[in-house]
């Protein structure tokens, strides 16, 4: 059994990781922690984990290193980069769910997050953990930067076009909406129940850090796309729905585009291209590691509309992280994800 730690187990993504890892057939969860000790067992903190007899510690890297061979970091952005080097130096396999290692360029990191990167050596070593793009690199790596939730929903919608070298003939609009868990468990006035329930709003328009992450991956794929990314806050706990408006060229027919997407994802376990005429809905992916994609094409305007739905805590975070662990460790890719 692989001995696994979850650092940041008391947060939203950490809780989702623990919930899934306790029933993973190849994993023994040996260490879980939050920032502070709550002097509680994890099952007392999260009663849905009944029977999981593990103390929830205050974070102690030494104990985590002694107890495990594989480490998930579910820590806030800019905290992971202070913590990851110790685990990597100790020879542990690490999947970092934060944004700290997603862009292998400290200047882009600073532009996105307004902070100096403190671990530039490992920044260059991390592999971007989008299995549908980098599966073979993930398999050979011991350090994965798990993609952001919005970038996962956007990039999975675009990979088939990138694969065929199809660029938009103008600006691609990425109109994304997320449930409130996307912001983490910490309290804030803007995220309180009365301000989010029965409300809907855009936020960080043209200034969200995930715009940098999306642009960085597109650049790595030599796709110099012109795009605009606008996030919105949905009055839901979990789920992301992104609508992408891609101006395309005349040569493509709806049937051809559908075929390109279907064939690109034919053997992918966690991406489903819906049949022509069907569109994704958040309720159909909630609690799953699936991304659902739906396509519409208006020939008179050469406009391709792609709708992408994921659960931000699963395919957008903990589920994708477990998928990455399965690939890194040679386990069947879907273990712990059904």
Ligand X SMILES: NC(=O)c1ccc[n+]([C@@H]2O[C@H](COP(=O)([O-])OP(=O)(O)OC[C@H]3O[C@@H](n4cnc5c(N)ncnc54)[C@H](OP(=O)(O)O)[C@@H]3O)[C@@H](O)[C@H]2O)c1
CB of 29 to ligand X, least distance (A): 15
Residue 31 binds ligand X (CB under 6 A): no
- Please, which of residues 133-172 interact with ligand X by CB under 6 A? 148-149
Provide the 3-class DSSP secondary structure of residue 243: strand
Residue 171: CB atoms within 10 A of its CB come to 13
Query: Of residues 149, 172, 291, 329, which has the active-site annotation?
Result: 149
Q: Please state, in angstroms and rounded to a whole number, the distance separating the CA atoms of residues 59 and 82.
A: 13
Residue 227 binds ligand X (CB under 6 A): no
Residue 109 binds ligand X (CB under 6 A): no
Residue 79 binds ligand X (CB under 6 A): yes
Q: Binding pattern to ligand X, positions 48-77, x when CB under 6 A?
A: -----------x--------------xxxx
Give catalytic status of residue 33 as yes or no: no
Residue from 332, 333, 334, 292 nearest 311 by CA: 292
Residue 129 binds ligand X (CB under 6 A): no
Q: Please state, in angstroms and rounded to a whole number, the distance separating the CA atoms of residues 131 and 69.
A: 22
Where is 161: in which H helix or E strand? helix 149-163
Could you identify the residue written with the tokens 């966690």? 270
Contact in structure between 96 and 126 (CB atoms under 8 Å): yes
- Please, which of residues 179-198 interact with ligand X by CB under 6 A? 181-182, 184-186
Q: Among 2, 4, 5, 8, which residue sits at the site for ligand X (rule: CB under 6 A)?
A: 8
Residue 231 binds ligand X (CB under 6 A): no
CB of 182 to ligand X, least distance (A): 4
Residue 102: which residues within 8 A CB-CB, separation 6 or more?
Answer: 126, 128, 145, 146, 147, 148, 151, 213, 216
How many binding residues for ligand X (CB under 6 A)?
30
Q: Among 4, 11, 68, 127, which residue sits at the site for ligand X (rule: CB under 6 A)?
A: 11
The sheet with strand 271-273 has its strands ordered as 201-202, 227-233, 172-178, 240-247, 303-310, 291-298, 271-273
CB of 14 to ligand X, least distance (A): 5
Residue 209 binds ligand X (CB under 6 A): no
Residue from 267, 181, 176 nearest 213 by CA: 176
| Active-site annotation, residues | 149
Q: Which residues bind ligand X (CB under 6 A)?
A: 8-14, 34-36, 59, 74-77, 79, 97-99, 148-149, 181-182, 184-186, 312-313, 316-317
């Amino acid at each position: 059994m692989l001995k696994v730690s979850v650092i940041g187990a008391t947060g939203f993504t950490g809780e989702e990781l623990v919930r899934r890892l306790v029933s993973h057939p190849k994993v023994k969860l040996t260490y879980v922690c939050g920032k502070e000790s709550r002097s509680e067992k994890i099952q007392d903190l999260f009663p849905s984990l009944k029977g999981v007899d593990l103390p929830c510690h205050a974070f102690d890297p030494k104990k985590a290193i002694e107890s495990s061979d594989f480490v998930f970091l579910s820590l806030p952005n800019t905290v992971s980069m202070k913590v990851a080097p110790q685990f990597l130096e100790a020879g542990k396999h690490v999947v970092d769910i934060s944004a700290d290692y997603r862009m292998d360029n400290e200047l882009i990191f600073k532009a996105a997050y307004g902070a100096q990167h403190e671990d530039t050596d490992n920044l260059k070593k991390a592999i971007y953990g989008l299995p549908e793009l980098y599966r073979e690199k993930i398999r050979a790596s011991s350090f994965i930067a798990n993609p952001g939730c919005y970038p996962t929903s956007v990039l999975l919608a675009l990979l088939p076009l990138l694969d065929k070298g199809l660029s938009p003939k103008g600006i691609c609009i990425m109109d994304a909406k997320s449930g409130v868990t996307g912001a983490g468990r910490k309290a804030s006035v803007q995220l309180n129940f009365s301000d989010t329930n029965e409300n809907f709003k855009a936020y960080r328009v043209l200034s969200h850090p995930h715009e940098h992450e999306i642009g960085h991956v597109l650049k790595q794929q030599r796709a110099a796309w012109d795009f605009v990314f606008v996030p919105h806050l949905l009055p839901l706990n979990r789920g992301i729905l992104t609508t992408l408006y891609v101006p395309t060229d005349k040569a493509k027919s709806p049937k051809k585009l559908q075929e390109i997407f279907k064939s690109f994802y034919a053997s992918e376990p966690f991406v489903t291209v819906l049949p022509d005429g069907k569109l994704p809905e958040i309720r159909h992916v909630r609690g799953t590691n699936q991304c659902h994609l739906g396509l519409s094409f208006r020939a008179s305007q050469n406009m391709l509309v792609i709708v992408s739905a994921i659960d931000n805590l699963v395919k957008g975070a903990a589920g994708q992280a477990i998928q990455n662990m399965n690939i890194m460790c040679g386990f069947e890719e879907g273990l712990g994800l059904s």
